């Protein structure tokens, strides 16, 4: 279906799906026009974060376009297929988020084993701060930058991506890998102390 953009806006959902499956870019644009707000709304409600919902919305339509060979108009509507992708991408985002929270919590609790004693003195906190700072210095420059912006400037990963010019996925990867390396190093140092 080689429809012009003006003709695509007036086609039925069924014909839109056929054109999309055939690789008609005008149909991708029309699918976004018709259902982009719905995808964003579902993502925003589930994630509670408009910036993350924007990222998910983009991922949904890019993923749908790249995976259009997997769409069969005879099995269901394009809208239903896109909403299925939306639910998967939202679930992926929630999984990444919970994994990152676990990583942060793991780093937070990996200090010196208390051997039955709780750290209460201010000097213990200073020692822990120095240990974390020293271990942070051992990470790659990219991981250091991302973690410093996240923890010391309290920036979100989206804000870090904007500030550094790195893709959001790269920021997420540096965060995860940096936290895991930091956790391993702090566990080793904690055992040595």
Whether 131 and 168 share a structural domain: yes
| Joined tokens for residue 193 | 């102390």
Q: How many domains does the chain have?
A: 2
| Joined tokens for residue 139 | 């990470």
Give the Cβ contact number of residue 139 at 10 Å: 20
Whether 128 and 90 share a structural domain: no
Residue 122 has pLDDT above 70, yes or no: no
Q: In this structure, what are the phi and psi dihedrals at residue 153, rounded to the nearest 5 degrees?
A: -105, 0
Q: Is residue 102 part of a domain?
A: no
Q: What is the pLDDT of residue 38?
A: 97
Q: What is the pLDDT of residue 57?
A: 95
Q: What is the pLDDT of residue 112?
A: 43
pTM for the whole structure: 0.52
Q: What is the pLDDT of residue 190?
A: 57
CATH number at residue 72: 1.10.1740.10
The model's confidence at residue 188, banded by pLDDT at 50, 70 and 90, is low
Range of the domain at 141: 110-192
User: Could you give the CA distance from residue 40 to residue 82 in angstroms, rounded to a whole number?
Assistant: 12
Q: What is the pLDDT of residue 107?
A: 58
Whether 88 and 115 share a structural domain: no
């Amino acid at each position: 279906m080689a429809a012009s953009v003006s003709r695509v806006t007036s086609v039925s959902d069924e014909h839109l799906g056929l054109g999309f499956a055939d690789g008609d870019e005008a149909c991708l644009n029309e699918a976004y026009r018709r259902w982009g707000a719905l995808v964003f709304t579902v993502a925003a409600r589930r994630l509670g974060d408009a910036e993350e919902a924007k990222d998910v919305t983009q991922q949904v339509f890019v993923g749908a376009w790249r995976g259009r060979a997997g769409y069969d108009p005879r099995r269901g509507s394009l809208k239903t297929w896109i909403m299925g992708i939306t639910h998967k991408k939202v679930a992926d985002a929630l999984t990444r988020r919970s994994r990152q929270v676990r990583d942060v919590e793991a780093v937070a609790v990996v200090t010196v084993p208390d051997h039955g004693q709780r750290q209460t003195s201010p000097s213990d906190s200073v020692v822990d701060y120095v240990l974390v700072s020293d271990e942070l210095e051992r990470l790659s420059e990219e991981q250091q930058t991302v973690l410093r912006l996240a923890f010391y400037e309290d920036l979100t990963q989206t804000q870090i991506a904007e500030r550094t010019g790195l893709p959001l996925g790269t920021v997420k990867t540096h965060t995860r890998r940096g936290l895991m390396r930091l956790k391993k190093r702090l566990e080793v140092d904690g055992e040595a102390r």
